[in-house]
Amino acid sequence: MTRLRKMMLEELQRRHYSAATIRCYTRTVEEFSRRFNCSPDRLGPRHIREYQAELFQKGKSAGTVTQHLAALRFFYVKTLKKAWSSADTPYPKKSFHLPTILSREEVACLIDAASTPFHRTLLMMLYATGLRRAELTHLKVTDIDSQRMVIHVRGGKGRKDRDVMLSPKLLDELRKHWQRLQKKPSVWLFPGRQDHCGDQPIDTKTVWHACREAAKRAGIRKNLHPHTLRHCFATHLLEAGADLRIIQTLLGHSDLEETTIYLHLSEQRLNATASPLDSLNLKDRSAQDQ
């Protein structure tokens, strides 16, 4: 491990950044350094601007570019204690895109198309709880509270704990999952490989592949990934009459504004709103046009 990498890791760990963010930030600085074949502490704003432009040229989204800039900013400001000028390296303006939503029938087809019983359980978990991928993979056996019919989410995004509902159908599926496991896990609900550190949970890529493989088998051509099922969870709850603030709590959103996106996605709300064209008393010109 190089001296600069060690310094950056210590700064990230001191601020209690998540493991995913640490991997992302260190990988970004390494890629930036390789691009110019130079130690990053010898690079400056000119190189950052050039790197930013190249990311857009490669088709990276504004969100991805912003994430790269945040990693570089952390390295230069927090690790190297250097000044950072937002005027020299402006963050790109984000574009707003509505996420993909599946109908209830499409969600059922997706789950039924899972390639293995294990993948089926993962897909059911995503849709039944609205969990993020990392939250799902880090669930522990003790997080399943069948007495209160809730699932405890420990250290979600922003290091926040919350509870989500445990549906009877999901509980039944989890019991089948437990019976299928040859070696009963002592910690992780979805155990992965064993290494020198002991038992590890499954990787988030496993959840991603489960989703993409099922979509392919089901013939669903929409742009679909695990987070899509989180969006479906919230949208379908809203359409079923759930209060927006309850959905905010279940999703773990810190701001209600984050949750209001699902108002834009609700099919029932859109269909219940009449177009102003329908209120116009227009003459029937079909006979004249013939």
Determine, yes or no, domain membership for 284: no
Please tell me whether residues 146 and 258 are part of one structural domain. yes
Please report the pLDDT score of residue 262 as a whole number: 85
pLDDT exceeds cutoff 50 at 286: yes
Instruction: Say if residue 146 is in the same domain as residue 187.
Output: yes
Radius of gyration of the chain (CA): 24
pLDDT, residue 273, reads 67
Domain count, the chain: 2
The token pair at 86 is: 């937002």
Q: In the prediction, which pLDDT does 185 show?
A: 85
pLDDT of residue 188: 94
pLDDT at 91: 80
251 Cβ contact list (under 8 Å, min separation 6): 130, 230, 234, 258, 259
Active site residue 262: yes
Region of poorest pLDDT, from 25-34, 95-104, 174-183, 219-228: 95-104
CA 269 to chain centroid, in Å, comes to: 25
Task: Read off the pLDDT of residues 134-171 as tens digits, 9 standing for 90 and up.
Answer: 999 999 999 999 999 999 999 877 678 999 999 999 99
97 in a structural domain: no
In a shared domain, residues 120 and 224: yes
- 8 and 115 within one domain: no
Q: What is the pLDDT of residues 13-63, one digit of tens each?
A: 999 888 888 999 999 999 999 999 999 999 999 999 999 999 999 988 888
| DSSP codes, 202-261 | PPHHHHHHHHHHHHHHHT--S---HHHHHHHHHHHHHHTT--HHHHHHHHT-SSHHHHTH
Mean predicted confidence (pLDDT) in 86-101: 79
- pLDDT at 196 (0 to 100): 46
State the catalytic residue, choosing from 60, 225, 227, 269.
227
Question: Are residues 162 and 249 located together in one domain of the fold?
Answer: yes
Query: Which tens digit of pLDDT belongs to each residue from 61-80?
Result: 888 999 999 999 999 999 99
Based on the fold, state whether residues 132 and 239 are members of the same structural domain: yes
Query: Rounded mean pLDDT of 114-123?
Result: 96
90 inside domain: no
42 and 122 assigned to the same domain = no
Task: Considering the candidates 68, 133, 177, 230, report the single residue annotated as catalytic.
Answer: 230
| 129 shares its domain with 61 | no
Q: Which two tokens stand for residue 40?
A: 């990053």
Domain annotation covers residue 18? yes
Q: Is 62 helix (H, G, I), strand (E, B) or coil?
A: helix
274 pLDDT above the threshold of 80: no
From 68, 119, 236, 253, active-site residue: 253
Decide if 253 is catalytic.
yes
In this prediction the pTM is 0.75
Domain-located, residue 94: no
Marked catalytic residue, from 47, 60, 157, 162: 157
Mean pLDDT confidence for 82-102? 81
> Average pLDDT of the chain?
89
Of 119, 132, 133, 231, the catalytic one is 132
More confident residue, 133 or 97: 133
Query: Per-residue pLDDT averaged across 97-112, rounded?
Result: 92
Q: Is 201 exposed, middle or buried (CB count within 10 Å of its CB: 0-12, 13-18, 19+)?
A: buried
Does 60 share its domain with 111?
A: no
For 162-213, write each residue's pLDDT tens digit: 999 999 999 999 999 999 998 888 899 999 875 544 578 999 999 999 999 9
For residue 185, the SS3 value is coil
Residue 283, pLDDT score: 78
- Domain match, 67 and 111 both: no
Tokens of 236: 């379908």
Which residues span the domain enclosing 251?
104-271
Report the pLDDT value the prediction gives residue 97, as an integer from 0 to 100. 75
Whether 36 and 71 share a structural domain = yes
Domain with 246 in it: what CATH number? 1.10.443.10
CA atoms within 13 A of residue 21's CA, in its CB half-sphere: 17
> Of 262, 264, 283, 285, which one is the catalytic site residue?
262
The mean pLDDT value for 236-262 works out to: 90
| Structure confidence at residue 28 (pLDDT) | 95
Q: Assess whether 132 carries a catalytic annotation.
A: yes
Q: What is the CATH number of the domain that holds 51?
A: 1.10.150.130
286, part of any domain:
no
Q: Tell me, yes or no, whether 98 lies in a domain.
A: no
pLDDT in the model for residue 246: 93
Question: Per the domain annotation, does 7 fall within a domain?
Answer: yes
127 and 211 housed in the same domain: yes
